[in-house]
Each structure stands twice: as C-alpha cells, then as structure tokens.
Amino acid sequence: MKKVDNSQGFIQVRAAHRRELIDDYIELISDLIQECGEARQVDLALRLGVTQPTVAKMLKKLIACSLIEHKRYRRVLLTEQGRRLADENHIRHKIVRTFLMDLGINKKTAQRDAEGIEHHVSNETLLAFRQFSKRCNK
C-alpha cells in the first residue's frame, strides 16, 4: 500500500481553527462599533452566548496580539492592525455569502454557513468564488 501524506491539509485546518475565534471576535467588535458606536465586553458576551469571564480571557489574548485596546470597564477599541483584520474578515465573509447565494442558498442559511466556511478557504478558493459570482451576476 502506498503511503499518502495528508498532513498539510490537517495542519491547515488546525491553523484555521485557531484563527477562527480571533477572527470572530474581531469581526464582532467591528460590527458592534458600526451598529452601536462602541463595543463592550457585556455586548460581546451576549452576542456570542458566552460568559463575561470567557470574553475577558479572549480580550487579553487580542491585546497580546496587538489587535485591540481595552481597559477594564471601558469599551473595546480596534487597533489599526485589528481594523485591517476586521476589514479582511468582512470581505471574506461577503465573498463566501455571495457565492452561496449565487448557488441558490437562501440568504439566512448562506449568512450562517459563510460564518464557518470563511475561515477555512484559501485565497485561491476565495478568488474562484468571487469570479464565479461575477459571472453569475453579469
């Protein structure tokens, strides 16, 4: 039997899973700032369905990654690096959602599914999704 090395695929999936939570928090912080003018720890906990201590732990990680600024009992602010990441995440999400809708998936399902898929597709695949959608919408 021929030995097959699939390790690269598994490595990529594990890396995507590690980034997924960071991406979700950054995207949500950006959304809250857009919708409400600010992002607060309590709002993050409510939207994500987690406890405030869980959010506090993640905020410390995001501070360590230089993605946010946050002082206890104050609003959460994105750094320039955090804003860039949020913008990239929004673009990825929109491309995947549009692609799914162009396949005939309803908007609600496409929105939900895009939330998971966006973290696991390569830039090459995103480009193909975008090109497909452009052809569909000519």
What is the number of helices (H) and of strands (E) in the chain? 6, 2
Structural domain contains residue 61: yes
Structural domain contains residue 2: no
Helix (H) or strand (E) holding 76: strand 76-78
Average pLDDT over residues 70-91: 93
Q: Per the structure, how many domains does the chain have?
A: 1
Tokens of 61: 């990680």
Q: How far apart are CA 126 and CA 13, in angstroms?
A: 16
Segment among 9-13, 34-38, 88-92, 112-116 with least mean pLDDT: 9-13
Q: How far apart are CA 102 and CA 130, in angstroms?
A: 10
Domain that holds residue 28: 7-136
pTM as predicted: 0.82
Q: How far apart are CA 30 and CA 115, in angstroms?
A: 15
Structural domain contains residue 110: yes
CATH number at residue 72: 1.10.10.10
pLDDT value at residue 17: 67
pLDDT value at residue 3: 65
Tokens of 72: 């206890």
Structural domain contains residue 38: yes
> Angle of helix 7-36 relative to helix 41-48, nearest 10 degrees?
120
Structural domain contains residue 1: no
**What distance lies between CA 85 and its chain's CA centroid?**
9
Structural domain contains residue 19: yes
pLDDT value at residue 19: 84
Each residue's pLDDT tens digit, 95-122: 999 999 999 999 999 999 998 899 889 9
Each residue's pLDDT tens digit, 17-65: 678 899 999 999 999 999 999 999 999 999 999 999 999 999 999 999 9
Closest CA to 132 of 107, 100, 88: 100
- Any idea which residue has 């406890």 for tokens? 51
